[in-house]
Amino acid sequence: MTLGSIGRKVNTVPKVMVIGANETSSHNLVSLLKEAGFEITTIYDGTRLTEFTQSLPSVVIIEEKAGKGGWELGVQIRQKSNVPIIFLGNGNSEVAWVKAAAYGIDFYMGWPFSSRELVARIKALVRRYEGSLREIMDASPGAAEG
């Protein structure tokens, strides 16, 4: 583990938080992510976002089926953090992609989606996000003093 920001440790195994409607609907997604080597935290009730601040994930995935309106969850998370957010929605329309951008979502994928593409996107977002955290730490006063 390396230090990524003040009080935030960057794991060598990326932590992915999945916010879904229920355990049954998210089962395949969670299994896929575990198989790909990610550490998974799940929330099945969008009102329990306090777990977000305790978990400090590398990436958040919101399923459109999630309670409390997945789009609004994206906004709430964005207000607390710059953690990358992937939104899994119903369909691949330009309207959905534009809406995702407007709500602070980093990437939108419509069902059905390629599991390999999802894993690749997660890895790319983790590299960019955690790389930025390291740059911030390296640039902060006292970083060179170790």
Residue 6's pLDDT is: 43
Residue 44 φ then ψ, to 5°: -110, 5
CB atoms near residue 76 (< 10 Å)? 15
Tokens of 16: 């992915």
Q: Are strands 8-10 and 2-5 parallel, antiparallel or unpaired?
A: antiparallel
Give the number of other Cβ atoms within 10 Å of residue 106's Cβ.
Answer: 20
CATH annotation of 2-34+47-113: 3.40.50.2300
Between CA 129 and CA 68 the distance in angstroms is 26
- Window from 29-33, 46-50, 87-91, 123-127 with minimum mean pLDDT: 46-50
> 38 and 16 in contact (C-beta within 8 Å)?
yes
Q: What is the pLDDT of residue 87?
A: 95
* 2 band by pLDDT with thresholds 50, 70 and 90: very low
Q: Which of 110, 121, 104 shows the shortest CA–CA distance to 88? A: 110
What is the value of pTM for the model shown?
A: 0.79
Domain parsing of the chain, residue ranges: 2-34+47-113
Kindly report, residue by residue over 6-25, the tens digit of the pLDDT.
444 555 789 999 998 888 88
Amino acid identity of residue 40, one-letter, is: I
Find out whether 140 and 14 touch, Cβ atoms under 8 Å: no
Other CB atoms within a 10 A radius of the CB of residue 49 amount to 16
